[in-house]
Amino acid sequence: MGNVIYIDIVNDIKSQIQNGLLGPGDVILPEYELSEKYGVSRTTLRKSLALLVSEGYIYTIPGKGNYVCRPARKKYQLDFDEVESLNLELEDIHLIDVKVIEPRKQLMDKLKISHQDKVIRVRKVFQAGGRKVEFVVIYLPYEKGSPIVEDVINFANFYNVMEKRNMHFQVTKSLNIQVVQANKTLEEFLDVDPEESLFLVSQEIFSADKTKPISYNEFYIRTDVIQLNGETDL
């Protein structure tokens, strides 16, 4: 495969599973055979296998090997994009502010940082249909001179940031969706009524091996302007 990195191995084995070449319960080739097949060290290979385990594609039986998992019957692939998921055409993006802040406990947990570290907070408001529809807060670990901050400010969504930096296959993302009531900040920036219900989509972006948090983001969206779609292979 030439200049193989661990994520190439992950994607190749994923493809075999998704296309039915490897089925539930099938054993994966032994480590020494996979190392020879991909031309990588055991260390690189084990990093790939660990990621496949964490994503639920394979499981390990000590002393026996690695096996393909049975698909989770309640697991859906959900599509979310802070712009594309809106059912109205985006008209304007207003940058509220960019500040370096001290992290509270939630941010320390999400970004794996200490109270001595700093966080860059970017806040925006999206307008569509003649009204404010989405309030976005992006938190990034502070790294002096990091160019990604400028990209987060200039681009509407993280898809375009990742596209510019060729990050699509270098990150993994997780989402949490809940309904919350508007507080004073949301009332001010979204022009909503007190305690109006909003969707809160919390997003965590990590490096592909899930060892380095890249950002933690919150999207507060009016309930009548968002559409989320999910699908499963079953």
CA distance 71 to 69: 6
Contact 124, 93 (CB under 8 A): yes
If one compares 172 and 213, the residue with the highest pLDDT of the two is 213
pLDDT of residue 230: 77
Q: pLDDT tens, 196-221?
A: 999 999 999 887 777 788 889 999 99
Q: List b or e across 69-91, with b for residues whose CB sees 16 or more CB atoms inside 10 angstroms.
A: eeeeeeeeeeebebbebbebebe
If one compares 169 and 11, the residue with the highest pLDDT of the two is 11
Residue 72 clears pLDDT 70, i.e. is over it: no
Q: pLDDT tens, 97-109?
A: 888 899 999 999 9
Mean pLDDT of 170-183: 88
Q: pLDDT tens, 5-33?
A: 888 999 999 999 988 899 999 999 999 99
The CATH class given to the 6-68 domain equals: mainly alpha
Going from N- to C-terminal start, the domains of the chain cover 6-68, 77-229
> What is the pTM assigned to this prediction?
0.66
pLDDT of residue 234: 46
pLDDT of residue 207: 79
Residue 71 clears pLDDT 90, i.e. is over it: no
Report the CATH number of the 77-229 domain: 3.40.1410.10
